[in-house]
């Protein structure tokens, strides 16, 4: 990402988009609609909502829809994330979704939490990622580090200082 400026984060815009997404959630079983939005490193905004299913385990979280939209619209790295419930209140991503966000935003992803904005490596300390799969000598998996987990040029320069 040499020479590319990180987009400015408009938290109010992210909140509004998360609320808009929440209003389209399909939650007839739990009655708990969720909406999520995120800013991508190229300035795009992506969003998602939860979609339940009568077979409970087949439902998807809002974060799943958001990551699907991320890849459907060109991929990239999530840099800021916002998630709300049916009241528009900030909520904590579940453990599964924290893993998903870590893989697509990396440790520097900024996440709104009820207590304030936190980095992903604070929300998910010692997060498990694709690089961990390659650490096992018997693994049949060869992993090229996903874009979101690679250090940006700015991060490399900061580390070298």
Report, as residue numbers or ranges, the catalytic residues.
63
Contacts of 90 (CB under 8 A, 6+ apart): 82, 83, 84, 112, 113, 114
Q: Which of 2, 59, 6 is nearest to 33 (CA)?
A: 59
Q: Are 124 and 99 in contact (CB under 8 A)?
A: yes
Q: Which residues of 132-159 are buried (b: 16+ CB within 10 A; e: fewer)?
A: eeeeeeeeeeeeeeeebbeebeeeeeee
Find tokens 């992803």 and name the residue.
109
Sign for the CA dihedral angle at 118, 123, 125, 127 comes to negative
Q: Are 79 and 106 in contact (CB under 8 A)?
A: no
**Interstrand relation of 78-84 and 110-113 (parallel, antiparallel or unpaired):** parallel
């Amino acid at each position: 990402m040499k020479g590319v400026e990180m987009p400015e984060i408009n938290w109010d815009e992210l909140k509004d988009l998360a609320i808009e997404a929440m209003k389209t959630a399909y939650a007839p079983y739990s009655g708990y609609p969720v909406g999520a939005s995120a800013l991508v490193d190229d300035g795009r905004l992506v969003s998602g909502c939860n979609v339940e299913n009568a077979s409970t385990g087949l439902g998807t979280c809002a974060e799943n829809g958001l990551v699907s939209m991320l890849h459907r619209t060109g991929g990239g790295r999530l840099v800021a994330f916002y998630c709300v419930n049916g009241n528009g209140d900030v909520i904590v991503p579940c453990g599964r979704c924290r893993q998903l966000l870590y893989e697509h935003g990396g440790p520097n992803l900024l996440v709104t939490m009820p207590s304030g904005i936190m980095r992903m490596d604070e929300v998910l300390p010692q997060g498990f990622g694709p690089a961990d799969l390659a650490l096992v000598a018997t693994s049949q998996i060869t992993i090229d580090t996903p874009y979101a987990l690679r250090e940006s040029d700015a991060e490399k320069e900061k580390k070298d200082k």
